[in-house]
């Protein structure tokens, strides 16, 4: 699933290409492309002009010259691409926004992504209000975020994936941030010192910043930016997807465990189990 660096890469590309453009025609080609929570049909936005493209965590939304906003989530395989109007339709094309000589296309092979019309308050869509700010958000409050982590009473990997605690981090960058912090994924949040939580947040921010600089992480064609290009951060991953490979820091073989219904990758030497490191 695309995480913050991938979604931010898409947001920047969309902002560059469609701000100021009008949705001259909207074609919905698959019913599951529209969120069941949408307060109106996507076609109701025909004639709307895009004023800005915003993001919180993994959610994107288009600010329009009307009260409603168009919210999007890429799900597992959703893609926004800009194509010439006469380009051949992609196999999994779900929604087409005609802008003039070009089209904004929403493509989704697995149909877990969606678009929807939503009301907004103070520029934030109603559907996004429950999502915590991410470390790149001007409203991000480090002290409050640390407090939310420590009050969860759960494993740190699970808390990192909780978008109500801190948004934007998914499985890839959670594993990478934990490795950089020398922290086992099963470490208990309530036993972590404030300094250690702050260090983890810093490392998560740094690894996502590095990924953003190279367009995100892409293992296959299911993540591309609006120009159809893949990200390159997979070449720099230390632990995620590296089971059996040597740890870049100590050389010990990377292990994978199933945790929180996901695979977690870690170095057993650099990230000792909570029993042996006292959870700190």
In this structure, the answer to whether residues 122 and 184 fall within a common structural domain is no
Point out the domain boundary residue: 78, 100, 128.
128
From 11, 58, 96, 105, the catalytic residue: 58
Point out the domain boundary residue: 128, 158, 174.
128
Give the CATH number of the domain where residue 232 resides. Answer: 1.10.8.50
Give the CATH number of the domain where residue 54 resides. Answer: 3.20.190.10
Catalytic residue check, 5: no
Structural domain of residue 78, as residue ranges? 4-128
Catalytic residue check, 152: no
How far from the centroid of its chain's Cα atoms is residue 198's Cα? 21
From 3, 63, 103, 155, the catalytic residue: 3
Residue pair 186/202 in contact (Cβ under 8 Å)? The answer is: no
* Residue 75 φ then ψ, to 5°: 60, -135
pLDDT value, residue 124: 92
Q: Determine the longest span between alpha carbons in the chain, in angstroms.
A: 62
Is 115 within the bounds of a domain?
yes
Is 136 within the bounds of a domain?
no
Is 114 within the bounds of a domain?
yes
pLDDT value, residue 11: 92
Structural domains in the chain (count): 2
In this structure, the answer to whether residues 94 and 14 fall within a common structural domain is yes
Is 236 within the bounds of a domain?
yes
Q: What is the pTM of this model?
A: 0.87
In this structure, the answer to whether residues 123 and 227 fall within a common structural domain is no
In this structure, the answer to whether residues 53 and 124 fall within a common structural domain is yes
Q: Return the DSSP state at 146.
A: H
In this structure, the answer to whether residues 119 and 146 fall within a common structural domain is no
From 12, 152, 255, 262, the catalytic residue: 262
In this structure, the answer to whether residues 242 and 116 fall within a common structural domain is no
Does the CA dihedral 218-222-224-229 come out positive or negative? positive
pLDDT value, residue 224: 52
pLDDT value, residue 259: 73
Q: How far apart, in whole angstroms, are the C-alpha atoms of residue 240 and residue 234? A: 9
Catalytic residue check, 84: no
pLDDT tens digits, residue range 199-215?
999 999 999 998 888 76
**Residues in the chain where the model's pLDDT stays below 50:** 218-220, 222-223, 230-233, 276, 278-280
pLDDT tens digits, residue range 161-191?
999 999 999 898 999 999 999 999 999 999 9
pLDDT value, residue 244: 95
Cα dihedral 125→130→133→137 (10° resolution) = 0
Is 265 within the bounds of a domain?
yes
In this structure, the answer to whether residues 112 and 195 fall within a common structural domain is no
State percent of the chain over pLDDT 70: 90
Query: Looking up tokens 């909780």, which residue turns up?
Result: 162
Catalytic residue check, 155: no
Is 137 within the bounds of a domain?
no
């Amino acid at each position: 699933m695309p995480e913050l660096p991938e979604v931010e890469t898409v947001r920047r590309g969309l902002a560059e290409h469609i701000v100021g453009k009008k949705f001259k025609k909207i074609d919905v080609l698959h019913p599951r492309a529209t969120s069941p929570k949408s307060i109106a049909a996507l076609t109701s936005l025909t004639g709307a002009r895009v004023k800005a493209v915003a993001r919180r965590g993994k959610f994107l939304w288009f600010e329009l010259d009307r009260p409603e906003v168009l919210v999007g989530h890429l799900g597992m395989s959703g893609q926004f691409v800009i194509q010439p109007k006469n380009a051949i339709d992609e196999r999994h094309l779900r929604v087409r926004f005609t802008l003039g000589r070009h089209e904004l296309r929403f493509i989704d092979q697995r149909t877990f992504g969606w678009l929807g019309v939503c009301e907004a308050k103070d520029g934030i869509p109603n559907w996004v209000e429950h999502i915590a700010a991410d470390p790149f958000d001007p409203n991000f409050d480090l002290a409050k975020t640390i407090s939310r982590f420590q009050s969860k009473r759960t494993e740190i990997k699970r808390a990192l994936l909780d978008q109500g605690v801190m948004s934007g981090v998914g499985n890839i960058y959670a594993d990478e941030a934990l490795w950089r912090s020398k922290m086992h994924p099963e470490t208990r949040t309530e036993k972590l010192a404030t300094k250690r939580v702050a260090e983890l947040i810093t490392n998560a921010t740094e690894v996502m910043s590095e990924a953003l600089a190279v367009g995100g992480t892409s293992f296959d064609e299911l993540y591309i930016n609006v120009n159809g290009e893949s990200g390159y951060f997979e070449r720099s991953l230390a632990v995620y997807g590296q089971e059996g490979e040597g740890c870049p820091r100590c050389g010990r073989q990377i292990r994978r465990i199933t945790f929180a219904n996901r695979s977690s990758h870690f170095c057993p030497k650099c990230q000792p189990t909570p029993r042996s490191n006292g959870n700190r």
